[in-house]
Each structure stands twice: as structure tokens, then as C-alpha cells.
Amino acid sequence: MTATVPLRAEGVAPQATGPTLGARAVGGLLEPLIFIVIAMLVALAEYVVAGPIRDFPVSNFWLAFVLLALADAWTWPQSQTMMGTLTGQYIATTNGEAATPLVIAVRQLARFGVLYGVPVLALEFDLVWAVAIWLICGAIVWRTPGRRAPWDLVADTVPVTGIGAVGQVELPVLRSAADLQLDPRRTSQDAMAGRLMFLAGLVSVVISALIVWNIFREAWAFVAADEFSWGLLKGRGWFPRRGEFDVGTLLVGTLWVTGIAMLVAVPVGLGVAFYLSEYAPPRLRRFVKPLIETLASIPSVVIGFFAISFITPTVLSRLFDDIAFQSVLAAGVGVGVLTVPIIASISEDAMRAVPMELREASYGLGGRKVTTALRVVFPAALSGISAAIIVAISRAVGETMVVFIAAGLTGIFNTNPLDPGQTITGAMASLGAGTDEVAGSGIAFQSLYFLGAVLFTLTMLLNIVSDVIVRRFRQVY
Amino acid sequence: MALTEPTTSSRRGIDFEALKARRGADIPGQIFYGVILAGVAVAFFMVGAVVWDVIDKSWVIVSDRFWNFLTSASSSDPAKAGVVQGIRGSLLIAGIVFLSFPIGISAAIYLEEYAEDNWASRLIQVTVRNLAGVPSIVYGLLGLAVFVQSLRGITGGSSVLAGGITIAVLVLPIVVITSAEAVRAVPASLREGAYGLGATKWEVIRTQIVPAAMPGILTGTVLAIGRALGEAAPLLVIGAVGWYTTGNNDFLDQLQGAFTALPMNITYFARDVAEIWSPHAAASSLVLLLLVFFVNLVAIVARARISKKLGR
């Protein structure tokens, strides 16, 4: 048994109310993004098939417009467009009938042309023309009664929030809440939203694939190059432009920086975590916690500057007489400052997750506060704490700017932390900073990707280890 | 002796003072507390020293010509050089990053509300977690290979467009993870109530979950903007310049031409061994810190207002 349920009161002419401001905002953000994504996907396909594209064909965009206009006309139910299914908007003709697919196709094509085709034209010609066309369109909108959009004028349509006498839908008589699910307008909206969100989720997979593909392809090109031999990876130092790629130099530098950083960050970070989780009265906690967040929000370039303008001259030069202006030690301490908040916040979370009962049991047995903290809370939170330290190590290995500013970057093999040194990230940054000179000079430039592959693998392994530790040793209370 | 009569008891119960006195002073406890307090003090010192150092070293410029420093272009003359191009570049990058938020938030909602336990959603989950741990300079390599070289036609090479997209890709996992946490924290009762009234999944998300998770989502996006403002390593690899003297007028030229950003300015000012540019490095660090703190402040205020509106 079915009954005819109009979405709007029967006989009422379509009202040009249009969607709400919020729905307009969603549409306004998503629609151009969809075009950019489609055009980029086409370009990526070309890139995978034919290699690097020197000149991005603008025709990709026109293709995207036509594709989406056709999809809008024939895919979506009930005279809706893709955005309409999200915003609850329908297209009606001016005499109050639901728009046919052909009318919708014309309207959408005109709409995409005006809204997005014009900026694409500007890419090819000049911004002045784009602005002029938009101004003319704006004037047309201004002059027409009801301020109708140019694309609605072209196709003679009106956007409405519901379709009246003509757009009646067959709906079952509602008996329970579940029957509401059968409303085709709402279910199509729902399905559309779900698909879009899944696509958004896939973006991160695409990014990962692109990272792995590009880095390892170029790294392979480095290893497979004619000038390359494995003997080059062992030498007097890291001098890519002279064809000397002693990776050992970089590994030693990275080890020093990471080790020094952990010497600084582990005690301080754990101290803060113990204080926040076990000792701090609530009032002080509210004061110390934002402080750690402040430290976390300081950009690494600023810490890099801090390392050579404060850490070396004010702190380290008092302890070590012969420290250089830029040194591995200063870079290590700077990276340590950066990683304190990581260790503090992850360890604190782990300690706070230890249930109160364990502490109470310890106190009940006569345990002191220090005993409870060190012998009960610490072991129970150990998996979280070690994960925190490993995440911090991974961050320290990958930290670039502090090293680039403060470590000095000489490629000479060096084990003295008081002298300038070079790390994996530092070497990558120096290669990257000189990108324009090295580009095309083949093997030196590709060593950048080789180092990237080493770094990517290293940090990925560390992250996996921390994940495994958390999962295997996590105690479920 | 009856169990109900403890030996060391006054009328009020156990005499804790007497117990404590018998045990003597808690020396290990005092030492441990001292060590912990020292750790907190060092953390305080770090924050204080960074802020003090930046203000102290930049005082020459801040007290003399701060406005001039903010509004002039880069120059080889230390008395005239400014960071207006860096500020413009950083703000443009932040604007481009802003465009990636709908994608990140949608992905978070997918992971929390839609994903069933199948290989596709597990793949997404694993890649998001791994991407969050990838060093920022590796994103620079991605940007160099894809956005600078392959898509040169759109981005115009080493441009603010390429840099902005790279940084947007870099902060995407942060947005996804923090937004997912916010969505997870929405009480199930809200969801069940809306479903009970016959709402579809999308309606539940739009009317209940997103508004309720808004404070948390906002925090995540602000963290991401803060990170985007301070990130320099990918820009370095992409080929942002430390400073340049020609001014670009056309907006399209600005998007596709050579660019710099505040962190790049700081890098090149700071790496000068002769320390002529040291005050400039400090002053641009100060500008960057102020920008980041301002963004965080906006988030705190917005979060407080939204929470108040939601009555929580």
C-alpha cells in the first residue's frame, strides 16, 4: 500500500529559497576540490603512463566539467545534482516542472563554465579577462529580477528546496521509523555522503603510494646509475658533488644527534610526566600542561636559531671550551628541546591510564608515594613510555631544520660532537637547498632520494616497533 | 585480643602521624620529588629561554623599526631588510592548507562512523598512522617529484602553490587523527537518539556528530595550521628561496612564481656565521611565534565559545 506524499505542499509553486548558507559553504568548498581532484587524477594517470608532464594540459579541466555535468544529469535521482544530493537542492524549470536530464546537463555545463572555467581560462590567458567575465556575470545577476544566476538564465531553471505538484514521490505509508529510511531523497543523500567520505579516506592511501613509488623509484635510479658503485658508499666523507657518498658519516652524525637529544629529553620529559600524572595538584597541573603544549607549538626553525644563539654561547661554551659556532652537540640539545613535549605528553597519558586501584592497593600495603610511582605506576605504564621514547627517537632522526641551522653540515667524517657534522636529514636539506644547481646533474641529485629512502625506512621501522610494543605489552585493565 | 580493637589506635582510628613518625623521614621520596621538580624546572627554563632569547636578540629591530621590518621586502642592506614576502608566503600556504581540512575531517568521519572491519578501512587506518610518523623532509621529496616536477604545468614549478599543497598533504594525517579522536568522543547517546528518531546516517553525522565534535576538530585543525606555519624542511627541498628582491604583482604570478615563507627567512638569516643577520633571524622568529600563538589563541577562544553554545 502506498500513498503519494509530496515533498512540498501540493500546488505550491517552486520557491527559489535555495539551500542554507552552511550547505552553500559545503558545496562551494567541495565542488572546486572535486574538479581539482579529477583533473589531478587525469594528470597522474598521464604521469604514470607517459612520465613527467612538462605542461599540464588544461583540457583536463574541460574534460572534468563535461564528465561531471553528464553525471549530474543522468546519475542522480529526481532532478538533483551531485551537490544537490548533499545540500537538498532540486532543479525545477520556471514553469514549475522538474527539470529533465538534458536541461540539467545544460545548466551544469554553464555553471561549471562560469564558476570554474573562467579561472582555468585565466591560467592560460590573463587574470584580467577572468575578472572581467565575472564582473559581467555579476552585473547580469544584479539586473535580473530575483537575482537569478547566469546558468539558471541559460537553462531557464530555478533551484528549489523541494518539488511541488510535479515532483511527487511514491512513498510507503509510514508505520515505523525504519520506513523513513526508504525516502529516496534521503537515502540517495546518505549513500552519496558515504561514498564521498570513503574517497576522502582513500586520499591518504594515494599519498602513501605516491611517496613510496617516487622515493624508491629515484633511489633505484641512483643505485642503478652507471657512475654508481657500492664502493662509493664508503669513503672519506659525504661529498655528493664530488661523487663521494660515505653513508657512514651521516649515520654517525644522526646517531650522535639522536643520542644527545634523548639524553636531554628522556629525563626532562619523564620528570614532567611523573609530575603531571602523580604529583601535581590540579591547580598547578592547569598551569604546567599548557606550558608543555607551548613548547610543542614552537616551530623547529626557531629552536634551530635558539641552538646557535643561546644554547651554544650561553650554556655549552661554559661547559666546553673548544666548541664550534655550529656543532653536533648544539644540534642534539636543540632536537632534545623539541622532543621533550612528545615524551612528556605520551608518557603522561600512559601513566594516567594506569587505574587508581593499583595505586590504592600499593598505598594500602603501606607503599610510599615514591614506591608507588616507581614500582607500580612506572612498570604498568612501561609500554606506553617506551613507545613514547621510540616515537621521540623517530622524530629526532627525521628532524631537519635544527640540524640544518645548528649542526654546521661539513661532509667530513667526524666523531667529535663539539665539531660541525652532518646527518641524513642535514645532507638532504643541503642537497635540496641547492636543488636548482644539482638538478639534472644526475647521480648527485638522486642521492637525495636515496637518503630519503633510507630515512623513510628507518622511521617507518621505528614507528612499527613502537606500535608493536604498545600492542603486545599493553595491559588491559 | 579482639580484632575490632587495633593496637595502634586512638578513638578516631589509625594514628597515621604515629605511623609516619615510626617510619622516619621519606628520604628516597624527597630525592625523587626533587629530581622530578628539576625536570619540570628545566622544561620551564626551555620555554622561558626560547622566548627571552628571541625577544632579547631581536630587540635592536623591535624597538627601532618593527613596523618597517614587517612591511618591507627583503634586501641586502641589513638596515632595510624586512619579511613582508615571508609573511605573505606563510599566509598563502596556510590558506591552501585550509582547503585540505574538508578532506581530512571527512576521512576521520569515514574511519569512525562508516568503516567496517575490512581490508579497505584497515589499509586507510594503517596508512594514516604511518603518514603521521613520516619525517617532514620526506614530504618535501614527494612535493619535489610530484607537485614541482610532474605537475609543473599547474603549479609553475617551485611555487607557493606546490609548497602549499605539499604542506597540506603533510598536515592531513594530523587533521585525520585529531578529528577522529573528537568524533570518537561523541557520546553514543546522541547518535542513538538521532537514529531512534529515524535519521539517516548522514543526517546523524550532519546534525549531531559534527556539531558535538566541533571543539575537538577545531583543536586539530588549529594544530595543523600552527604546524603548517612553522614547517620549513619540505619548502627547502621544494626550492623555496630564502629571500628575493623582485616583487610579483599579478596574483597568478604570486601563486606560481618564486616564493619564500617565514621559516625560510629564519633559516637563511640564522645560518649566517658572521651574525650580521642574527637580529633579523630573531625578529622573524618573533613574528612566527606571535603568528602561531595568535592562531592557538583564536582556537582556544573559539573552542570555549562553541562548548558554551553546546552547553557543555
Instruction: Report residue A100 as a C-alpha cell.
Output: 529533465
* Average pLDDT of the segment spanning B212-225: 87
Is A460 part of the contact surface with chain B (CB cutoff 8 Å)? yes
Cα→Cα distances B54→B48, B49, B275, B312, Å: 10, 8, 14, 39
* Highest mean pLDDT out of A65-79, A186-200, A298-312: A298-312
Name beta bridge partners: A238.
A245
ipTM tops 0.90:
no
Does residue A407 lie in a domain region? yes
* pLDDT for the residue numbered B268: 85
* pLDDT for the residue numbered A475: 61
Query: What type of residue sits at position A347?
Result: S
For A203, the closest of B103, B196, B229 (CB atoms) is: B103
pLDDT tens digit string along B281-310? 999 999 999 999 898 888 888 878 877 776
pLDDT tens digit string along A377-423? 998 898 889 989 999 999 999 999 999 988 877 777 777 788 888 88
Q: Is the pLDDT higher at A180 or at A324?
A: A324
Cα→Cα distances A262→A67, A323, B61, Å: 54, 20, 35
Residues A319 and A463 in one domain: yes
Q: Is the pLDDT higher at A254 or at B219?
A: A254
- How many domains, in total, are found in chain A? 2
- Please tell me which residue of chain A has the smallest CA distance to B47: A295
Residues A238 and A95 in one domain: no
* Average pLDDT of the segment spanning A285-310: 89
- Average pLDDT, whole number, for chain A? 79
Residues A140 and A236 in one domain: no
pLDDT tens digit string along A424-472? 898 888 887 764 444 445 677 788 888 999 999 999 899 888 888 887 7
* pLDDT for the residue numbered A261: 95
Of the residues B54, B111, B134, the best mutation for testing chain A's interface (the one with the most A CB atoms within 10 Å of its CB) is: B134
CB contacts, 8 Å: B255 with chain A: none
Q: Which of A1-5, A140-144, A290-294 has the lowest mean pLDDT?
A: A1-5
Q: Domain boundary at A126, A142, A170, which?
A: A170
Does residue A210 lie in a domain region? no
CA B222 – CA A293 distance, rounded (Å):
13
User: Which of A58, A57, A93, A86 shows the shortest CA–CA distance to A72?
Assistant: A86
CB contact under 8 A, B285 and A197: no
Residues A9 and A155 in one domain: yes
Residue A180 in this model has a pLDDT that exceeds 80: no
* Average pLDDT of the segment spanning A352-376: 90
* pLDDT for the residue numbered A126: 66
Does residue A139 lie in a domain region? yes
Does residue A85 lie in a domain region? yes
CB contact under 8 A, A193 and B141: no
If pLDDT is split at 50, 70 and 90, which confidence band does A286 have?
A: confident
Is A128 part of the contact surface with chain B (CB cutoff 8 Å)? no
pLDDT tens digit string along A232-261? 777 777 877 777 788 888 888 899 999 999
Q: Domain coordinates of chain B in residue numbers?
A: 52-310
CB contacts, 8 Å: A405 with chain B: 267, 270-271
Q: Which of A123-137, B50-64, B198-212 has the lowest mean pLDDT?
A: A123-137
In CATH, what class is B52-310? mainly alpha
A contact residues 243-302, partner B, Cβ 8 Å cutoff: 267-272, 274-275, 279, 288, 291-292, 294-295, 297-302
Residue B1 C-alpha, separation from nearest chain A C-alpha, in angstroms: 23
Does residue A148 lie in a domain region? yes
* pLDDT for the residue numbered A455: 93
Q: Is the pLDDT higher at A119 or at B191?
A: B191
Residue A226 in this model has a pLDDT that exceeds 80: no
If pLDDT is split at 50, 70 and 90, which confidence band does A221 have?
A: confident
Residue A372 in this model has a pLDDT that exceeds 80: yes
Residue A298 in this model has a pLDDT that exceeds 70: yes
* Average pLDDT of the segment spanning B250-269: 75
Residue B231 C-alpha, separation from nearest chain A C-alpha, in angstroms: 7
> Percent of chain B beyond pLDDT 90?
29
Does residue A108 lie in a domain region? yes
* Average pLDDT of the segment spanning A193-197: 86
Does residue A414 lie in a domain region? yes
Q: Domain boundary at A127, A144, A170, which?
A: A170
* pLDDT for the residue numbered A357: 92
User: Which of A323, A326, A334, A327 shows the shortest CA–CA distance to A301?
Assistant: A334
If pLDDT is split at 50, 70 and 90, which confidence band does A5 have?
A: very low
Q: Domain boundary at A147, A170, A193, which?
A: A170
Q: How many CB atoms lie within 10 A of CB B7?
A: 5
CA A473 – CA B156 distance, rounded (Å):
50
Q: Is the pLDDT higher at B124 or at B5?
A: B124
CATH number at residue A393: 1.10.3720.10
Does residue A38 lie in a domain region? yes
CA B158 – CA B144 distance, rounded (Å):
8
- Please tell me which residue of chain B has the smallest CA distance to A181: B200
**Residue A392: which domain range?**
230-473
For B270, the closest of A268, A305, A448 (CB atoms) is: A305
Q: Is the pLDDT higher at B213 or at A79?
A: B213
CB contacts, 8 Å: B36 with chain A: 271, 274-275, 279
A contact residues 13-72, partner B, Cβ 8 Å cutoff: 26, 29-30, 33, 40, 43-44, 47, 52-57
